[in-house]
Structure 1
């Protein structure tokens, strides 16, 4: 059998990434189309301007189809993954009623207020499915219990009338739910003309972006953990049951039907913190890095690699984006003296991310009573050997990096492979399409340093500075 091709869509907060894979999970073509900056018309708002999610998807699909040199008839389907926890309001003609609310928008979590001009409400996956196929269908695994009346046991709309009505969303304004790996519809002629992809290919349901990433990273065993390095950073392990009363994690629907992901608290700005630091360093530094053949991140990592674990006492709290209910929280870098350089600051940012996440991860696995034998690191940050080693040293376990670290696009492709019969199930598809690249073992000396820093001061540092931050917030608000 010749190669079959799968289009995997991974739409995040900052860009729409499209990858064409073959049935072995090998990348044939890939493109990324930046999204426009979010608009904040008032504090707490974060909107995607115009029709940016659809427009960027169209542009990215047209670009990748121009690059694709295989046979179009060998494209078996498109797996659709988009940002979770966003909110879409649609008119009766399928167009947007208002700009899409990003997951950072406080209104995305507020109770729905009915409006006769709103015909449907859904996450971006439902909206994009409609634009591609004309079908009012969506994946069940991108509906969140704080936004929609989903039953996490049945993966369908709740039949509890009181619970359902508490969301104030009329049933007629919700989409039909399909399971990950089901066909949502087929690319219609209009969408084919706008995107350049073949009409008639199936559009396949995936899940929420973190769950799709987990599948694409190969997280299918309960003795393995995943750290997702995206705009939002979190750690995850998988399981077989909904755990609604957990104290130190929350239950997310998996990209495998009737399986679950347990997800720790996370870091809201995540890898955007690295983008922030790159931007404030300035163009001169970026030009110097380019002149010597480095990206800015690699050039900073080169400097940071010469800094000892603990950054000579420099500590970072990565709260660059405060939760809506705790607006006083701010990012902090503390402990400067004359020794500290760019490399110290960069390493401290990475260490702050790793230690903060460990302090969310440890209570989760303790409550679950598990001890994962290694941690998969996915996302663009895993390209950094330094960051991979810092995670191994902070967590004290082996960290693993895969060949394809943009795992959400691969997870979307795996769903297509299952839906179209290329493989008999998710586990078989993962075994054939996900491959490990390398691993990093913890340095015992560095592990002890990080453990002493964390238990000695870092674990309690957010509480120690809380009152000062509240006072400063009140001064300026």
Structure 2
């Protein structure tokens, strides 16, 4: 099967990406398109404007295929594509599969509750996920992966199919007629339709393969299959997860989700909402002078900020960032906090403090999961664009006190998509073989144990204590400034 290729289709909160791999894991071509800015009609509401997910994905496909053909490759040698789209969103479709309402993003507080019909949803026939919607756009089929139904959905995670319990359907305000048919990860959802082929520039008939929810696909694509190896996925939502074999029913500090390997599970603890968004926010709001300095030195603004922050000592000389820019559903009153300012602090302190706050928050959530599983973490894998930062990688290693690695392909969801796609068409004998071929380990950062001891003290004595003092004040602030 030489000179054959697999496509990974990855749409996140901020961008759409299409990557084409050969069967040895080499990237042959890539296309990317930024999504438009989210519509925020009111506080804690978030919608994707117009048909932005599909419009952006079409451009990403076209760019990937242009580069693919310019390299002298043949489109008919593409075996299949795996599709991974942002999870925990709600998509409302008309009878013909078109959007009946803008895609409701996972940051929207309406996703904290079951679907509820309102007059604005007139004409809704199907309630589905982003992966169900994009599958329909690509194939014309009303099908979806069973592994992207998280939250208020009547999905049975033991049978990997819709629940047969009427009470579960009632609790979700849904009926079987409202939802799409589902298949398991690594199974074929349908084939690229003639209409879609003209729009995205690939041959009609290419198999479109189910994956799972985006974080599970990243975990597969990062190669984090061994016990004690955890993946931290740096996205707009920063999540942490480990693979498992059982659908744990009474977990207290993690959720058991379907993995991107059928019959396996992914254990995921609480993460950081608007995690990497916070870094982009800092860069865009406070980076004007840094941008000028970056131009003078001939580096990107991100590289300049990382260089400056690398000179700041661990702990930022007392400056702490609490990451509640998008609060959890159980405490919607919370807001982001920066505390500890004094005359020593510069933009470099602020930037490093944002990074350290993410690492502290993730460690505190992950320690609870590790203790409950009775499996201490022995290594971290970091995926996502933030893994490009040596500083951020070292902060994770120092905060956790364990070796921390990144892969050559930082966006591991694309790799996971290609693995699922390859399994569906027989390109690989097993998920283990596919992972060995497609996942390529990059740099490993060893912890500075002196920094680790200091971070442990700062985290235990200060960072973990913050909410108990700020919550009473933020509860009073929220009704004064937040309007639904």
Identify the TM-score tier after normalising by the shorter chain: over 0.9
Structure 2 distance, partners of 1:135, 1:476, is: 45
Identify the residue that residue 89 of structure 2 maps to in structure 1. Answer: 86
3-state SS, counterpart of residue 184 of structure 1: strand
Identify the residue that residue 61 of structure 1 maps to in structure 2. Answer: 61
Structure 2 distance, partners of 1:278, 1:44, is: 22
Whether 2:144 is the aligned partner of 1:141: answer no
Matches within 5 A, 1:156-167: 156-167=161-172
Structure 1 distance, partners of 2:337, 2:445, is: 29
Identify the residue that residue 11 of structure 1 maps to in structure 2. Answer: 11
Identify the residue that residue 300 of structure 1 maps to in structure 2. Answer: 305
3-state SS, counterpart of residue 186 of structure 2: coil
When normalised by structure 1's length, the TM-score is 0.97
Structure 1 distance, partners of 2:87, 2:456, is: 34
CA change 1:71–1:291 in 2 (3 A) is farther
Following superposition, the deviation at residue 244 of structure 1 comes to: 2.5
**Structure 2 residues not aligned, in runs of 5+:** none
Following superposition, the deviation at residue 116 of structure 1 comes to: 7.5
Whether 2:412 is the aligned partner of 1:417: answer no
Structure 2 distance, partners of 1:148, 1:474, is: 31
2:229–2:377: 8 Å Cα contact kept in structure 1?
yes
The one of 108, 115, 125 aligned to 1:119: 125
Whether 2:420 is the aligned partner of 1:387: answer no
CA change 1:109–1:474 in 2 (3 A) is closer
1:79–1:206: 8 Å Cα contact kept in structure 2?
yes
Q: Which moved more, 1:154-163 or 1:444-453?
A: 154-163
Whether 2:465 is the aligned partner of 1:460: answer yes
Structure 2 distance, partners of 1:222, 1:177, is: 30
The one of 433, 437, 440 aligned to 1:432: 437
The one of 236, 240, 247 aligned to 2:245: 240
3-state SS, counterpart of residue 387 of structure 2: helix
Identify the residue that residue 321 of structure 1 maps to in structure 2. Answer: 326
The one of 161, 165, 172 aligned to 2:177: 172
1:44–1:324: 8 Å Cα contact kept in structure 2?
no
Identify the residue that residue 448 of structure 1 maps to in structure 2. Answer: 453
The one of 264, 284, 290 aligned to 2:269: 264
2:49–2:102: 8 Å Cα contact kept in structure 1?
yes
The C-alpha deviation readout for 1:210-268, integer Å capped at 9, x for no partner, is 10111110121222111111100121111011113211111111100111111111110
Matches within 5 A, 1:270-419: 270-419=275-424
Structure 2 distance, partners of 1:87, 1:147, is: 10
Following superposition, the deviation at residue 281 of structure 1 comes to: 2.1
1:394–1:450: 8 Å Cα contact kept in structure 2?
yes
Q: Aligned pair count?
A: 476
**Structure 1 residues not aligned, in runs of 5+:** none
Following superposition, the deviation at residue 164 of structure 1 comes to: 2.5
2:169–2:175: 8 Å Cα contact kept in structure 1?
no
The C-alpha deviation readout for 1:39-61, integer Å capped at 9, x for no partner, is 12223321111111111111111
Identify the residue that residue 21 of structure 2 maps to in structure 1. Answer: 21
Q: Which moved more, 1:292-301 or 1:181-190?
A: 292-301
The C-alpha deviation readout for 1:138-192, integer Å capped at 9, x for no partner, is 1010012x22100011110011222223322121221111111101111011000
When normalised by structure 2's length, the TM-score is 0.96
Aligned residues: CA RMSD: 1.4
Following superposition, the deviation at residue 285 of structure 1 comes to: 2.1
Structure 1 distance, partners of 2:425, 2:448, is: 45
